[in-house]
Amino acid sequence: MAFGQAIGLPIISAYTGQSVSNHKILPKEAAENRVSGEAISVCAEADGTVTADRQAQYGAPVDNFKRIADAFNALSGGKYAFTPADVAMFMVVVKLARQCHKPKRDNLVDACGYIKCLDMILSGETVGAGH
């Protein structure tokens, strides 16, 4: 039994957005890369976004998420001591909650991207591939 099902959530295919019955996971219906037309996984799409597009806009995840954690900490009046890793995990939860409400590929790409950011933060990586 899937975790979501165990806690009463419907099981939804990440690729079709349709309810999955009988505990079967539907085969991947690959999305197409908008530029080349080739099939690309949500993880591959997220990797390219995190290590190129977003770093150019926001800087390395550890630095960007540190700024966000500092803002969260200030808003809490010093009650909490959030870290950049905490921020990445919060953002994964945000995307999964959105996916539960209205399944769409963008939520999955973003969730994978935030997990990639978490990995970069925990491994001490400050610059993505190609930078």
Long-range contacts of 10-15 (CB under 8 A, 24+ apart): 12/99, 12/100, 12/103, 13/103, 14/42, 14/99, 14/103, 14/105, 14/108, 15/105
Q: What's the whole-model pTM score?
A: 0.68
The answer to whether 120 and 84 have CB atoms below 8 angstroms apart is no
Predicted pLDDT of residue 82 = 97
| 82 CA to centre of own chain | 19
pLDDT of the residue at 48 = 83
Q: What is the reported pLDDT for 19?
A: 64
131: pLDDT confidence band, cut at 50, 70 and 90?
very low
pLDDT of res. 50: 85
Model confidence over 72-104: pLDDT tens digits? 999 999 999 999 999 999 999 999 999 999 999
Which of 11-20, 26-35, 63-72, 100-109 has the lowest average pLDDT? 26-35
Confidence (pLDDT) at 1: 46
Query: Averaged over 103-117, what is the pLDDT?
Result: 94
Mean of the per-residue pLDDT values of the chain: 79
